[in-house]
Amino acid sequence: MEIIMSILAGFLFTVGLYLILTKNLIRIIIGSSVLSHGAHLLLLTMAGLKTGAPPLLGLNADTYVDPLPQALILTAIVISFGVTSFILVLGYRTYKVTGAAETDQLRGTDTDE
Amino acid sequence: MFTILHLAIIAPFLAAVLVPLLYKFIPRIHTGWFVLIVPIVLFSYFLTYLPDVSGTGSVIKTFEWIPSLGINYVAYVDGLGLLFALLITGIGALVVLYSIYYLNKHKEQLNNFYTYLMLFMGAMLGLTLSDNLIVLYTFWEITSISSFLLISYWYTKEKSRYGALKSLLITFIGGFALLVGFVLIASVTGTYSIRGILDASDQLAASPLFLPAMLLILLGAFTKSAQFPFHIWLPDAMEAPTPVSAYLHSATMVKAGIYLVARLTPLFAVSAYWFWLVTGFGLLTLIWGSLSAIRQTDLKGILAYSTVSQLGMILSMLGAGAAALHYDSVDNNAYTVAVAAAIFHLINHATYKGSLFMMAGIIDHETGTRDIRRLGGLMTLMPISFTIAVIGGFSMAGLPPFNGFLSKEMFFMSMVEITHFSQYGMGSIGLLLPIVAWTASIFTFVYCMILVFRTFTGKLQEEKLPAKPHEAPFGMLLAPLILVALVVVFGFFPNTLVPAIIEPAMASIMPELAQTGSFGVDIYFWHGFSPELFMTIGVVLLGTIIFLVLQKWSSIYAVFPDNRLFNQTYNRFLEGIERTSYTVISWHMTGLVRDYFIYIFSFTVVLLLFSLFGTGAFAIDTANMVPVTPYEAVLSLVLVGSSLILMFTRSRLKAVISLGVLGYTVALFFVLFRAPDLALTQLTIETVSVTLFLLCFYHFPQIFDALKETKFHAANLVISVAVGLTVTLIGLSASGTRLFPAISDYFLENSYKEAGGNNVVNVILVDFRGFDTLLEILVLGIASLGVYSLIKLRLAGGENK
């Protein structure tokens, strides 16, 4: 399973990066979102996908899965959500102010201070 | 302890602070008069050290500056240092006196001038009277900076700024090389003290760093002392006011390199490289400078090249003097004469060159031009200046009875003697040395004659002169008169200098020889019919002939490679650096985000793959892996499918929806991998995200329009596949191996015991690692504030729709 998960994470990285490398602002934002999914799955996989009960002690199971990476991913999800929503609004505002939806239209000129 | 000696060295700095105050509050008196006190007092003070340094004596006073690094302000007065200190303060006093009459109180910014000049004087004193290499380097750089300021004194003139920048760049490159050389020496000997280093000279000679240190230090010395091919800054430095040229660019600063060579001779002279480099470059500079001086038409230009040439001569004598260190005794040691001649010529050059510069300044001041093609016939109008020029010029040419004659004879003598030297691979090539020296002296003679006769004899061309020529005021003539008086005195009574100054200085340059006896230097006019005498007669005869037929052969100079070659090289070098850096920057700094991403990711991939396979870290351990279930296989396919759609779709709705599918699939993965909290959060957040995208889409569909024009880009795909592959490979090799057990057992065991909670993930978030959560809340808060202000805040720039 770890092999498949690693490949999946790598695939998400590929897709995310491919989207980020385009000029379109919306695709770049979507790409960063995909990239963070890849990172979260990778984090989970790295900790080892041991079989066991969810980390809820009330279940009285013999083994539990590792709770620490779950806590880390939870934090990361929230932060990436904050960042995604911010850059989404930033892209929206950029389009409204400059009328540009592609990064090469946003290039400064030599006369810009 | 801070002593009077330390105070004396930095006294000019203190004076530099006072100068602007005096200039501002006592404007009626020329500021120079106040400044004049400093060098006179210092000169008298340093005269009192003469008895202390006689023989091999020296005075050392230590003031701790940074003792933990071994950097202390150690004032060290020995024969060599004192000679320079006397030159600096003595000529400094005369230059200040001259500048009082040269610079107009009302038209010039005297506060700047004297501040810079005092700064320079203090730095120069510190340089020559320091025993610590780092302190020496500090003062060395202050001389460069103050010279830069003085050259650009008339900063509104473009040529002044050009000359100042050029001298700064060249001397700074040398200065930096010097610092590296000093550090190399100190890393071998373990001390920055010059005396300590000289004691450990055997240690350095055996070290592989000996040659690099020597080359770097010579580079520093050669750039400062305007040796070939670094001499190009000196003629451009002639844009400075004439007192500055006289002081810095003839008598003192350009001799800092010579001081350094002399000071470190006991350290490096064991090497044949030292001998060949110092002597070779010295002679090359000597002949190049004297040849170039003849073609100049500007008085200061001639003097600048003659300075270059004479500095080369002093340096070549110091190099030849290195041969003396191969003999254990001063008896029968013919090569000590080279060192004596170097020191004697150093003094002589300072006296006559100072006076000649002042003479050139007077001519400029009184006629309005320094161009020798417009000058002539000033002999009767300016008889005193003429006398100065004759004495100074004839002394420089090496004519009796002036001091230049004596040092030139000694120069010839040392060059002839050195041909008998058997070491350093001296063979037939050694014969070249006196021949080059002799040829250069002929040209020296010629330009001296040009200097004197073209300016003062011939026909007066009054219509070409901007001002009506007349003799300068006495105050202006006083300083050059004192200097030429010294030229004559040293010429007739050279031996007064020997015990007091020359022999102690020789003892500093050759300390080991000094212990075996007195150098017994005796300078006299008549040697008998020795080779030197015939060489001098040849110089005068040939020089006179060449000078008389100058018109006929000076067209040769049209084919002779001139200094423009080096200046052009310098200019092209500067332009080239500018152009190259501009090209490099504009080539890779495209302003496109995509390009920068490509740099970043290509570098990351190359670095990671290289270290992954280079260190043999790649390994797949399948032992502890979990088997794949059908659920996971199906989910994986959904994940791949939705991302592929996302990647290539041109429909805006498809993009948003497949992003949602992707997020929900990830949430289902969290369910499968037994992470209920993650699944909940992921579901909620994905919903909100998709809503946000849709909101954006709804309010502003045009921003999504560009999706339609998305093109396929092969290079992008290659890089992203490479990154994805790297991630997969690292993931595979990392997940199989675990170097130590996880700490999660602690959390599982203590979650209830210590924190009273059964949901271990939540306990970690709010209890064990609550700080993460606190700051994560802060991130969300900032993001929401940012979103709010992005939407609400409307400052300048405005909307286009």
ipTM for the whole complex: 0.94
Query: Is pLDDT larger for residue B623 or for residue B653?
Result: B653
Q: Which amino acid is at B237?
A: A
Nearest CA-CA distance, residue B756 and chain A, Å: 11
Tokens 């001389």, residue? B143
Residues B13-22 have pLDDT tens digits of 999 999 889 8
Residue A7 touches chain B, beta carbons under 8 Å: yes
Could you tell me the pLDDT band of residue B663, with boundaries at 50, 70 and 90?
A: very high
Selected for mutation to probe chain B from A37, A90, A110 (highest B CB count within 10 Å) is: A37
Q: Is A12 a member of any domain?
A: yes
Q: Which of A1, A55, A104 is closest, CB to CB, to B761?
A: A55
Residues on chain B touching A89 (C-beta within 8 angstroms)? 696, 786-787, 790-791
Please tell me the distance in Å from A13's CA to the nearest CA on chain B: 5
Q: What is the pLDDT of residue B270?
A: 84
> What is the predicted pLDDT for the residue at B217?
93
* Average pLDDT of the segment spanning B399-423: 82
In a domain? residue A99: yes
Compute chain B's Rg from CA coordinates.
39
pLDDT of A113 strictly over 80: no
Looking at per-residue pLDDT, the higher value among B135 and A93 belongs to B135
Closest alpha carbon within chain A to B720: A14
Nearest to B286 by CA among B412, B166, B169, B140: B412
CATH number, domain with residue A99: 1.10.287.3510
- Residue B784's pLDDT is what? 93
Highest mean pLDDT pick, B69-73, B480-484, B778-782: B778-782
Please choose, from the candidates B597, B636, B670, the residue with its C-alpha nearest in 3D space to the C-alpha of residue A31.
B597
A-chain residues near B670 (CB < 8 A) = 44
Answer whether B290's CB lies under 8 Å from B257's CB: no
Indicate the average pLDDT of chain B: 86
Torsion sign across C-alpha atoms B300, B306, B309, B310? negative
Mean pLDDT of B168-195: 92
Q: How many angstroms away from the CA of B611 is the closest CA of chain A?
A: 18
B662 contacts A70? CB cut-off 8 A: no
Q: Is A92 on the interface with B (CB under 8 A)?
A: yes
* pLDDT more than 90, % of chain B: 31
Residues in chain A with CB shorter than 8 Å from the CB of B748 are 55, 57, 64, 67
Residues 6+ apart with CB under 8 A from B730: B608, B612
pLDDT at B550 > cutoff 60 = yes
Report the distance separating Cα B154 and Cα B241, nearest Å: 8
* B428 pLDDT higher than 80: no
**Nearest Cα to A17, choosing from B606, B786, B751, B716?**
B716
pLDDT band at B702 (very low <50, low <70, confident <90, very high): low
Within 13 A of B303's CA, how many CA atoms are on the CB side? 33
User: What stretch of H or E contains B367?
Assistant: helix B336-367
How far is C-alpha B164 from the geometric centre of its chain's CA atoms?
13
Pairwise CA distance, residues B475 & B28, whole Å = 18
User: Which tokens hold the place of B590?
Assistant: 């495209």
Considering only CB atoms, B592 lies closest to which of A93, A98, A107, namely A107
Out of B275-289, B737-751, B764-778, which region has the weakest mean confidence (pLDDT)?
B737-751
- The answer to whether the Cβ–Cβ distance between A37 and B786 falls below 8 Å is no
The whole-angstrom distance between A66's CA and the closest CA on chain B is: 6
What 3-state class would DSSP assign to B326? helix
Which of B691, B670, B688 has the alpha carbon at shortest distance from B679? B670
Cis-peptide into B51, omega within 30 deg = no
Contact yes or no for B418/B400 (Cβ under 8 A): no
Closest of A26, A74, A76, A96 to residue B656, by C-alpha: A26
User: DSSP label at B739?
Assistant: S
- B791 CB neighbours in chain A (<8 A) are 89, 93
* Structural domain that includes position A18: 2-50+64-104
Of A24, A84, A108, the CB nearest to B689: A84
Interchain contact, B724 vs A10, CB within 8 Å: yes
3-state DSSP assignment of residue B382? coil
* Contacts A19 to B, Cβ<8 Å: 646-647
pLDDT at B465 over 80: no
What residue type is assigned to position B165 of the chain?
L
User: What is the SS3 assignment for B522?
Assistant: coil
Of A57-61, B455-459, B481-485, B523-527, the range with the highest mean pLDDT is: B481-485
Query: In this structure, which amino acid lies at residue B574?
Result: L
DSSP for B68-94 reads GGTEEEEEEE-HHHHHHHHHHHHHHHH
Characterize the bridge pairing of strands B59-66 and B71-77: antiparallel
pLDDT tens for each residue of A4-26: 888 999 999 999 999 888 888 88
Question: Residue B331 corresponds to which tokens in the numbers above?
Answer: 């008896």
CA distance A74 to chain B (A): 6
Query: If you count them, how many residues does chain A have?
Result: 113
Q: Which residues pair with B62 in a beta bridge?
A: B74
Residues 24-83 of A with CB under 8 A from B: 24-27, 30, 33-34, 37-38, 40-42, 44-58, 64-68, 70-71, 73-75, 77-79, 81-83
The alpha-carbon gap from B653 to the nearest alpha carbon of chain A, in Å, equals 12
Contact B329, B512 (CB under 8 A): no
Q: Residue B164: pLDDT band by 50, 70, 90 thresholds?
A: very high
pLDDT at B764: 92
> Residue B129's closest CA among B188, B80, B162, B91?
B80
Distance CA B723, CA A10 (A): 8
| Cα separation, B213 vs B490, whole angstroms | 37
Residue B499 scores a pLDDT above 90: no
Q: What is the pLDDT of residues B70-121, one digit of tens each?
A: 888 888 898 899 999 999 999 999 999 999 988 888 888 888 899 999 999 9
Closest CB to B643: pick one of A11, A25, A79: A11
* Distance in Å, alpha carbon of A52 to nearest chain B alpha carbon: 8
Give CA–CA dist B236/B566, Å, rounded. 13
- Do the Cβ atoms of B666 and A13 come within 8 Å? no
Q: What sign does the dihedral B413-B417-B419-B425 (CA atoms) show?
A: negative
Rounded Cα gap, residues B57 and B80, in angstroms: 11
Using alpha carbons only, give the angle B465, B470, B472 rounded to the nearest 5 degrees.
Answer: 115
Strand partners, B285: none
Angstrom CA distances, B633 to B112, B300, B644, B768, stand at 83, 90, 17, 35
For B614, other C-beta atoms within 10 Å of its C-beta total: 10
User: Quick one: pLDDT band at residue B763, thresholds 50, 70, 90?
Assistant: very high
Q: How many CB contacts within 8 angstroms connect chain A with chain B?
A: 282
Q: Show residues of chain B in contact with A23, CB under 8 Å.
A: 594, 706
**A97 assigned to some structural domain:** yes
Tell me the H-state helices in B700-792: 702-705, 714-735, 744-755, 760-763, 770-792
Cα nearest neighbour of A107 on chain B: B591
Facing residue for B790 by CB, picked from A2, A13, A93: A93
Q: B759 has which bridge partners?
A: A56
- Counting runs of H as helices and runs of E as strands, what totals does chain A give? 3, 0
With 80 as the cut, is the pLDDT of residue B329 above it?
no
Contacts of B783 in chain A (CB under 8 A): 82-83, 85-86
> Among B500-504, B618-622, B681-685, B782-786, which is the least confidently predicted range?
B618-622
Give the pLDDT confidence of B710-745 residue by residue, as tens digits.
667 788 889 999 999 999 988 888 776 667 777 888
pLDDT at B43: 93
d(CA B620, CA A2): 10
Helices (H), B103-157: 110-128, 133-151
For CA atoms B657, B660, B664, B669, the dihedral sign is positive
Buried b (16+ CB within 10 A) or exposed e, B170-200: bbeebbbbbbebbbbbbebbebbbbbbbbeb
- For range B353-369, the mean pLDDT: 88
Contact B675/A4, CB-based, under 8 Å?
A: no
> Cβ B706–A101 below 8 Å, yes or no?
yes
State whether A81 and B723 contact (CB < 8 Å): no
CA distance B305 to A75: 74
* Of B248, B415, B454, nearest in space to B323 by CA: B415
Q: Where are the beta strands (DSSP E) in B498-591?
A: none
> Cβ contacts of residue B653 below 8 Å, gap of 6+?
B697
Confidence band, pLDDT 50/70/90 cuts, at residue A1: confident
Q: How many domains does chain A have?
A: 1
The reply to whether A56 falls in a domain is no
| pLDDT average, residue stretch B557-568 | 70
Q: Enumerate the residues of chain A whose CB falls inside 8 A of the CB of residue B655.
A: 26-27, 30
Whether A109 maps to a domain, the answer reads no
**How close are the terminal C-alpha atoms of chain A, in Å?**
54
Q: How confident is the model at residue B424 (pLDDT cuts 50, 70, 90)?
A: low
> CA B742: distance to chain centroid?
56
Using a CB-CB distance cutoff of 8 angstroms, which residues of chain B are in contact with residue A41?
A: 666, 669
Among B368-372, B419-423, B608-612, which stretch is predicted with the lowest mean pLDDT? Answer: B419-423
What average pLDDT does range B154-180 have in this prediction? 92
Name which of B674, B689, B776, B795 to mutate to probe chain A: the one with the most chain A Cβ atoms within 10 A of its Cβ.
B674
Q: How far apart are the C-alpha atoms of B85 and B73, rounded to whole Å?
A: 17
Residue B210 CB contacts under 8 Å (≥ 6 apart), including other chains: B188, B204, B268, B271
Give the C-alpha separation, B393 to B328, whole Å. 39
What's the average model confidence in pLDDT over A45-51?
78
Is A42 inside any structural domain?
A: yes
The region, left, alpha or beta by phi > 0 then psi within -120 to 50, assigned to residue B459 is beta
For Cα atoms B585, B589, B594, give the angle at the middle one, nearest 5 degrees: 160
Other Cβ atoms within 10 Å of B573 Cβ, number: 11
Query: Stretch B345-351: mean pLDDT, rounded?
Result: 90
- CA B344 to mean position of chain CA atoms: 30
